[in-house]
Amino acid sequence: MPHSKSARKRVRQNIKHRLRNKSIKNALATQRKRFLAAVAAGDHEAATVEFRRTVKAYKKAAAKGVVHANAASRTESRLAQKLNGLTSVAS
C-alpha cells in the first residue's frame, strides 16, 4: 500500500489510465478485425472505408500515447499492404 499522499494519487491515476488504455486497445483490435474481415471477403470498397477508420484510430491512439507512434505506423503500413494486395487481385 502507498504511504505518501502523492503515491496514493499515482495509484488512482494509474487505475484510470489503465482502464482508458484498455478500452482504446480493445477498440483498436475490433477495428482491425473489421478491416481484415472486409479484406477476407474481398470487398474493396468496404475494406477502403474500414482502412481509413482503422488508420484514424491508430493515429489517435498514438497521439494519446496508448501505442507507440512507430508501432502505429508499422501496423498502418502492414494493413495498407493488405489493402493494396486486395486491389491488385481484384483488378
**Global pTM value:** 0.85
CB 25 within 8 A of CB 66: yes
CA–CA separation, 61 and 68 (whole Å): 8
Query: Going from the N-terminus, what domains does the chain have, and what CATH number goes with each?
Result: 5-90 (1.20.58.110)
Residue 86: the pLDDT is 83
Give the model confidence (pLDDT) of 24-73 as tens digits.
Answer: 999 999 999 999 999 999 999 999 999 999 999 999 999 999 999 999 99
Measured on CA atoms in the order 68, 69, 72, 73, is the torsion positive or negative? negative
CA–CA separation, 74 and 78 (whole Å): 6
C-alpha cell at 7: 503515491
Residue 90: the pLDDT is 55
